[in-house]
Amino acid sequence: MTAALDMLSLSTNSSSPGHTARLAQAAGVPLNRRVLSYHEAPPTSSSDPTLALQREFARPLYARPSALPSSTGAVTNKSRKIPTQPERVLDAPGMVDDFYLNLITWSCQNVLAVALAESTYIWRAETGTVSRVGEAPEGSYVSSVDFSNDGAYLGIGIGTGEVELWDVEAAQKLRTMSGHQGQIAALSWHQHILSSACGDGSIWHHDVRMPRHKVMELLGHTGEVCGLKWREDGELLASGGNDNVVNVWDGRVGDVGTEGARGTAKWTKRNHTAAVKAIAWCPWQPSLLASGGGSNDATMHIWNTTTGARLHSLRTPSQITSLLFSPHRKEILSTHGYPTNSLMLHAYPSMERIAEIRDAHDSRVLFSALAPAGDVVVTGAGDENLKFWRVWEVEKSKVGKKKAVGEVKEGRANSTTREGILSIR
Amino acid sequence: MAGTKQAPTRQAITLKGSTNLVTEFFKYAVNTILFQRGVYPSDDFHMVKKYGQTVLVTQDLALENYLDRILKQVNKWLLTGSVTQLVLAVISKDSRIPLERWVFDVNLVEQPAESSEPAPPKPESEIQAEIRYILKQIVSTVTFLPIIDEPTVFNILAYTSESADVPADEWVDTDPLAIEAGKSQQVKLRSFSTDVHRIEAMVAYRYEG
């Protein structure tokens, strides 16, 4: 039609102008006007709607954040420097590369317990000696370890559902507490109560003194429970699971001996969008709880456990595998999995990044534990190394610079660890 | 030179400024329509803050470039005052039948007679508010426009004057992609104006009731 009108407009001279105008009016296309379109057709959408949701979930795995500006792959604040190299490295052959397990614990007696496949090893930080404590039954593996508060006993969770109790000093098994049907992914002690988190989503309180050890059952997760931490005072227990839920439980166990007692969660949080393994209580503000989500969440939430309010949230570049509060400073350390494999140090409450050590391990950093002195953090990863990082130097304030250097050297000499590489097995 | 006169905080909007404003509006309007009418999958869009509200804008690079190229030329035409209408046609991908035409009339605001005092410049906040209303109205049209349940493509048409400078290899004369009068419903939308341009929006859609 336009073409026809173009023709008409070209031949205006030959026909009556009034006629052309009337025709144009009738056709609704004004004269002396061109209708143009761009010569190319618009592009089709490059995004492919199939599996869009799944790709959305996998995206954090591919999006490695831009490299850090420094050559060492680490960034530190001007005012706050942390060593970007581990203080020492221990060989840990056979360490299981499984996000859901908790394979490192460090006791108040400065003893580090590490589970390597079916065996548990103890490394005494003072002497550097290594000894083997338990061994899981044939065909199974150790899925979690935790020291009792006094450091005298070690709880070992087995892949088949048993919870073992070991005397650390004598390296002797005291008892086996069975009953769980799935793997024990996390353990946490409070005095004589050893709480175990099971693959079927249940949490049991075991009274280790009692013959009938199971004193309470906490049901509040529909997926495997992989994060479990008692608050220091034993009033609250926090748990995180593969169902993306964070639960906080009242720690009162009730009448001892009432078999089948069940607890209910004080509150339940569903803000995470991936498994919650990283759980940490704040030592200097007991109501604070930090929780960190897995790969497609990668977000840290800080909760006020008294009110249940979410105080802060921080998105990180990759899955959060563990969280540690500093006992001396208002700081939180988080360890991360693929793609950054990093250690990150955040200020509280600003949540600013103070420091980051990229590629702390060759594979995802899975486990971490804090030395009793609160200065050294040990991290374990699927690359079968244990690395010790002096993240929080315990220093006396107001010392001159030269003195501070001496302090550091002295600190090194009688610190929790000594230089050197040693194999733990 | 005029010592007594205070420096104006904001210059009266110029032709160039107005042109840029209109071009920008067109960009966001097109994006909003493409999103709301599902021409492109919603995953392709992300939210940006614009005009004091969130607007969904495509992040598909190819589409972004495509729109940029078009808008660049539209900008030129606006500057020379040779474009009178811009149309975004939503077309069925398979049958090529035009389903919707989003029409934006571009009018030049007549300057008042020289004898009278020039009208005070329109504050930018007011212009933005008007733009915001149009964009909101585009969003709300979803409630009455027929649901499109087939794949669609779009086409942008520019109605220019005969004398317009047209880059020959980039823009071609085309069919107006009109919807037959008997099957077309039209809804007039709000308009907005700067000191130079007045944009009137309208949507026509195929309705065979």
> Does A37 contact B155 at a Cβ distance shorter than 8 Å?
yes
A49: phi > 0 → left, psi -120 to 50 → alpha, else beta; which?
alpha
In CATH, which superfamily holds the domain spanning B15-113+121-206? Answer: HORMA domain (3.30.900.10)
pLDDT digits (tens, 9 = 90+) for B107-151: 988 766 555 566 677 888 889 999 999 999 999 998 989 988 888
> Does A2 contact B154 at a Cβ distance shorter than 8 Å?
no
Window 93-152 of B, Cβ < 8 Å to A: none
**More confident position, B67 or B6:** B67
**Mean per-residue pLDDT over chain A, rounded:** 81
- The neighbouring-strand residues paired with A25 are none
Distances (CA, A) of A265 to A175, A190, A235, A279, B175: 29, 18, 13, 16, 67
Does residue A417 carry a pLDDT above 70?
Answer: no
> Across A136-287, where does the E strand assignment appear?
142-147, 153-158, 163-167, 172-177, 184-190, 193-198, 202-207, 214-219, 225-230, 236-241, 246-250, 262-263, 265-269, 276-281
pLDDT digits (tens, 9 = 90+) for A255-308: 555 556 677 888 999 999 999 999 999 999 999 999 999 888 889 999 999 998
> Smallest Cβ distance to B62: which of A1, A35, A46?
A46
CB A160 within 8 A of CB A144: no
Q: Interface pTM (ipTM) of the complex? A: 0.80
Distance from CA of B2 to the nearest CA of A (A): 45
Domain boundaries, chain B: 15-113+121-206
Distance from CA of B135 to the nearest CA of A (A): 22
Does residue A312 carry a pLDDT above 60?
Answer: yes
pLDDT digits (tens, 9 = 90+) for A159-183: 999 999 999 988 889 999 999 999 9
- What pLDDT score was predicted for residue A76? 67
pTM exceeds 0.95, yes or no: no
CB A143 within 8 A of CB A158: yes
Substitution target from A6, A45, A46 for chain B, most B beta carbons within 10 A: A45
Mean pLDDT in residue range A15-26:
58
Please give the Cα distance from A396 to B205 (Å, whole number). Answer: 76
Rounded CA Rg of chain A: 30
Distances (CA, A) of A370 to A142, A375, B153: 21, 7, 59
> Smallest Cβ distance to B166: which of A1, A36, A52?
A36
The answer as to CATH 3.10.20.30 being correct for domain A88-254+264-390 is no
Q: Confirm or reject contact between A39 and chain B (CB < 8 A).
A: yes
Please give the Cα distance from A96 to A314 (Å, whole number). Answer: 29
